[in-house]
Amino acid sequence: MPTLLEQLKQYSVVVADTGDLEAIRRFAPEDATTNPSLILKAVQSGQYDALIDPVLQASAGTGGDLEAIIDDACDRLVVALGCRILEAVPGRVSTEVNARLSFDTEASIAKARRLIAGYEQAGVGRDRVLIKLAATWEGIRAAEVLEREGIACNLTLIFSFVQARACAEAGVWLISPFVGRILDWYRRHQPERQDPPAQEPGVRSVQRIQRYFWQQGYRTRVMGASFRNCGEILALAGCDRLTISPELLDELASTHGLLEPVLGREPQAPAEPVAPLTEAEFRWRMNEDAMATDKLAEGIRGFEADQRRLEQLLRERLTGRR
């Protein structure tokens, strides 16, 4: 009998949620996703040491002050890592815009264009890259502009239906609604809850989003993310895409059993047209959702903290070279 991972790949596109090249090669996913936390972990692992000195040397040659050099080095490094990852996957890699730009539409657009230019200078077409942005109102508006320019986007840190809907209405290529982080919030605030994986609030949220997107005929793809256990993954079999950590990929690859897809493109009744969300509606509905508001802010702060750690690592390495 085939493994659960082999069967899962028949129903959903499997994406590696890691920058670990060895894991990517082992599990042969279609795509790979990264974020500042995963980039920091990958750099600390030593896998990419050979990339860092050339990146710092190129950035130092730009003639800017130290902080401008570090900012340039971070951009060059994430592009270099993305290019290396793309050697191991047939599809796309997601590269994230700095979390500190999450509330600045114009700065997010400028950073995304810079990252895409870096990939194109390295010979990688934009058809193999997803620009990753936090699903704030400003991030969604940035993605709307970028999509019109042919720059496909992955909107991340999605914890609510209203975020997902706003992304689809903006025409983004992909969204990443989180599962495990939603569960974390409920376990902290309602410790008496003992939901089985298939009934967890994060799983049910992604199921609702996926079914609504199919019903409305949105082109935006749904990629479940942030899993805490394999039960959550199996409960989302049939979702457009699933991005999975190496630890859970290993568990799925070593487990045999029958996997039945939970989500499928069942015939849908014609959808009623809905008016696009306004900014006021979006912000009010987010305000009404304490979990989504808490987790979005926490996620942005966490990614920014790891971005600063990465910058400090490069700063120390650069000043040490000097």
315, 66 Cβ separation under 8 angstroms: yes
What are residue 17's DSSP bridge partners? Answer: 33
SS3 state at 11? helix
Q: Is 9 a catalytic site residue?
A: no
Residue 46: exposed, middle, or buried by beta-carbon count in 10 A (0-12, 13-18, 19+)? exposed
CA 238 to chain centre: 19
* Identity of the amino acid at 260: E
DSSP string across 137-170: HHHHHHHHHHHHTT--EEEEEE-SHHHHHHHHHT
**Is residue 234 a contact partner of residue 186, using CB atoms and an 8 Å limit?**
no
Task: Tell me how crowded residue 144 is: count the other CB atoms within 10 A of its CB.
Answer: 18
The one catalytic residue among 9, 41, 111, 132? 132
CA 158/CA 150 separation, integer angstroms? 23
**Which residue, 96, 85, 97, is CA-closest to 29?**
85
Strand stretches in the chain, DSSP E: 13-17, 31-33, 93-96, 129-134, 153-158, 174-177, 221-224, 241-244
Q: Is 217 strand, coil or helix? A: coil
Closest CA to 17 of 241, 204, 314, 312: 241
| 168 contacts 175 by C-beta, under 8 angstroms | yes
Neighbours of 60 (CB within 10 A): 16
Enzyme catalytic residues: 132
